[in-house]
Amino acid sequence: MTDPIALDPVLGPHERGWLPFNDDGIPHDERYELFERHVTGGGKVESTDWMPDEYRTGVLRFVEMHANSELMGVLPEREWLMRAPTLRRKLALTAKVQDEVGHAQLLYRVAEDLGKPREAMMEDLLAGRTKFHNVFHYPTKTWADIGIIAWLVDAAAIVAQQALRDSSYAPYARTMRKICWEESVHIMHGRDVVVTMMNGTDEQRAMVQEALDRWWGPLMQMHGPRSDRSKDRDIHWRIKAKSSEELRQEFLSIYVPRILELGLTLPDPKLRYDDEAGLWTYSEPDWQELRTVVTNHGPKSQERLDFRQHHWDDTQWVRDTILAARASA
C-alpha cells in the first residue's frame, strides 16, 4: 500500500462545498475510503460532516484529553494565585489561569459538538476513565515553580499546539489558532518572572534553579515516548502532524539556549546538541514514571481530582439553578 500522504487530494479546495462521503446513499466501505482519501490528502472535516467511527472517536479522545489537561492545569497554579507578591504579578497570574479555564471551555465545546455532553466528560475525568497530561500531576512548591511552569511547560505545550493548527478536524484547528495566540502571552509572563528572579537575590536564584531541577524530568516526558510514525493513527488521520520526538527536539532547540543564557544549569549531564546527527541527545526520560503518573498515580493526581470533585459537587445547585424553570407572572 502506498504512503497515503503521497496521494493527490481527490478534490480541489474550491470543490469543498460538496464532499462525496457525505452522500448517505453510498455503502459504508466506499464512504470510509473517500473520507480517508480526503483527510490524508489534506482535506478538512467539519462537525456536520459524516465521519467513520474510528475518526470520530480518535478526535474526541484527543480533544477530550486536551480539554481535561487545561482544566486540571489550573490547579497547580491556582494555589499561588493568592500568594503573588505584587499587584501586577497577581493580575497576570489570574489572567493566565483564567485563560486556561477559557481554553478548557473552547475545547470542551469542540468535544460536545462531536456528541459527548460536558457532564459525561467531567464524570469520566473525575472517575479516572479519561486522562490529563503528566505535568499537572506534580506539586508546586515555591513561587519559582510558577515562573518555570508558565514559561517552560506552556512553551512545551505551545510547540505541540502550533503543530495542531493544521489538524484535519477544522473546529479543533481553529481553536488551536486562538489558543496559540493566547498562550504566547503566558510564556512571556513566565519568562519575565524567571528573569526577574535570576536578576534578584541569591535566594531567588537558588529558588529558580531548584524548581528547574525538579521540573526538567516531567518536561522531557511531556511529549511522550518516541513512536513509529507509520503506526500512529492520530498522524494517519492528520489529527496531529508531528511525532513526539519532533516536538521534543523543537522544544529543546528553542528553549535550552534561553535557559542557559540566564545562568541556569540543566540537571541532565548527557544533554547536548549533536551537530553531526543534527539532533539533541539526552538521558532517556523515565517512561515508567510517565506511565505511572498519567494513570493517576502521580504525587498530586488523586488530591487534585478529589479537589475538583468536591467543588463540582458543591456547585451542583448552581448548575441546577441555571437549568431550572423560573417563577412566572
Partner 1 sequence: MTDTPPADRTPAAGAAGRGLEPWEVFRQEKDGDPMRHGGSVLAPDAELAVHYARELFGRRQESVRLWVVRRADVHDLSDPDLLSPPLDRSFKKPGGYVMRDKLAAARARSGQAKPKARQG
Partner 2 sequence: MTALAGELVPATRNGLSLLLLAMADDEFVIGFSDSEWTGIAPMLEEDVAMSSIAQDELGHAQALYGLLAEVVADGRDADAIAYDRPPEGYYHARLLDHPRGDWAHTIARRYLYDTADSVRLEALTGSAHEPLRDLAAKIRREERYHEMHVGAWLERLATTPGEPRRRLLAALGRLAADAATVLAPLPGELSLVMAGIVDAPGDDLDARWRSKIGPTFERLDLPMPPALSDAAGARTGHSDAFRSLHAELTSVRRLEPGATW
- C-alpha cell of residue 259: 535557559
Q: Which stretch binds partner 2 (CB under 8 A): 58-66, 178-186, 199-207, 215-223?
A: 199-207
Q: Which stretch binds partner 2 (CB under 8 A): 70-78, 148-156, 181-189, 229-237?
A: 70-78
- C-alpha cell of residue 159: 510547540
CB 168 within 8 A of CB 40: no
- Residue of 218, 231, 233, 239 whose CA lies nearest to 294: 218
**Contacts for 255 with CB less than 8 Å, ≥ 6 apart:** 152, 155
- Find which of partner 1, partner 2, none residue 8 binds, CB within 5 to 8 Å per kind: none
Regarding 329 and contact with partner 1 (CB under 8 A), the answer is yes
CA distance linking residue 231 with residue 250, whole number of Å: 22
- Binding residue for partner 2, selected from 5, 7, 26, 91, defined by CB under 8 A: 91
CB of 155 to partner 1, least distance (A): 20
Task: Rank residues 106 and 155 by Cβ distance to partner 1 and give the closer one.
Answer: 106
Q: Which stretch binds partner 1 (CB under 8 A): 137-145, 172-180, 231-239, 273-281?
A: 172-180
Residue with cell 504579578: 89
Would residue 44 be called left, alpha or beta, if left means φ above 0 and alpha means ψ between -120 and 50 degrees? beta
The Cα-based distances of 194 to 22, 209, 227 in angstroms read 52, 10, 33
CA distance linking residue 141 with residue 211, whole number of Å: 8
CB 164 within 8 A of CB 240: yes
Task: Rank residues 65 and 101 by Cβ distance to partner 1 and give the closer one.
Answer: 101
- Find which of partner 2, partner 1, none residue 143 binds, CB within 5 to 8 Å per kind: partner 2
- Find which of partner 2, partner 1, none residue 28 binds, CB within 5 to 8 Å per kind: none
Long-range contacts of 86-92 (CB under 8 A, 24+ apart): 89/193, 92/189
Binding pattern for the stretch 16-35 against partner 1, x by CB under 8 A and - elsewhere: -xx-----------------
Regarding 22 and contact with partner 2 (CB under 8 A), the answer is no
Regarding 326 and contact with partner 1 (CB under 8 A), the answer is yes
CA distance linking residue 275 with residue 116, whole number of Å: 47
Regarding 328 and contact with partner 1 (CB under 8 A), the answer is yes
CB of 116 to partner 1, least distance (A): 14
Q: Which stretch binds partner 1 (CB under 8 A): 98-106, 141-149, 161-169, 241-249?
A: 98-106
> Residues 123, 126, 131, 135: what is their CA dihedral angle, to the nearest 10 degrees?
150
- Residue of 145, 127, 141, 68 whose CA lies nearest to 100: 68
Can you give the binding site for partner 1, defined by CB under 8 A? Answer: 15, 17-18, 48, 98, 102, 105-106, 109, 112-113, 118, 174-175, 178, 182, 322-329
Can you give the binding site for partner 2, defined by CB under 8 A? Answer: 74-75, 78, 80-91, 94-95, 97-98, 100-102, 104-105, 108, 143, 193, 196-197, 199-201, 203-204, 311, 314-315, 317-322, 324, 326-327
